[in-house]
Amino acid sequence: MLLPIVIYGHPVLRKVSEDIPADFPDLEKFLKDMFQTMDEADGVGLAAPQVGKSIRVFVVDGSAFAEMDPDCAGFRRAFINAHIVERDGEEVSRNEGCLSVPGIHEDVKRKNRIRMVYEDEKGERKEEVFEGIKAWIIQHEYDHLEGIVFTDHLSSLKKRLLRNKLNNISMGKFRATYKVVLPK
Ligand SMILES: [Zn+2]
């Protein structure tokens, strides 16, 4: 089932998400819907707050970057109760976009390596280090769990320049090929 995607300005994108219990109802179905919604919208990731749920769940698919980074081939995963415990390595600037902020693409600097604890789709607790593009994709989605949107990372000048565009997006003035939920 395709889930509508929440658009910039909606308060759910500003909430800090909560861990979910092991017996969270219909998690399997929710993850299936998340993957389907991400694929249909051509996204490389989708976090639960983007479909209106303040829970620490996100899905990623880095396959599109396999040519740039062979490590990304088959990097299609769900992360549950994710917590980044360490960020290091150099800062790398990459051009980002977000399904919740349609039409805006800006360079964002992020650490090139992270260590994260999480549960996989089977509920197994894991600790793993991610680098390069994988770390980049994860940090963008992880930000959504913390109530952060990628434009928050821009300089105040850049933010000022984008203010009108962001207001227009909040009011529904954009084109998207997927179903959306606008802020009230
Ligand atoms: Zn996003």
Average pLDDT of the chain to the nearest whole number: 97
As a whole number, mean pLDDT of residues 61-86 equals 95
Confidence (pTM): 0.97
Active site residue 67: no
Residues with Cβ–ion distance below 5 A, ligand 1: 98
Indicate if the pLDDT at residue 159 is higher than 90.
Answer: yes
pLDDT at position 79 = 98
pLDDT at position 184 = 83
Ligand 1 centre distance from Cα of residue 133 (Å): 15
As a whole number, mean pLDDT of residues 5-27 equals 97
Query: Quick one: tokens of 144?
Result: 């959504």
* Beta strands 5-6; 45-47: pairing state: unpaired
As a whole number, mean pLDDT of residues 11-32 equals 97
Catalytic residue, candidates 90, 119, 141, 146: 141
Ligand 1 centre distance from Cα of residue 151 (Å): 10
3-state secondary structure 98-138: CCCCCCCCEEEEEEEEEEEEEECCCCCEEEEEEEHHHHHHH
CB-CB neighbours of 78 under 10 Å: 20
**H/E element, 128:** strand 125-131
Band the pLDDT of 183: cuts 50, 70, 90: very high
Ligand 1 centre distance from Cα of residue 147 (Å): 11
Indicate if the pLDDT at residue 61 is higher than 90.
Answer: yes
As a whole number, mean pLDDT of residues 142-154 equals 98
Ligand 1 centre distance from Cα of residue 113 (Å): 19
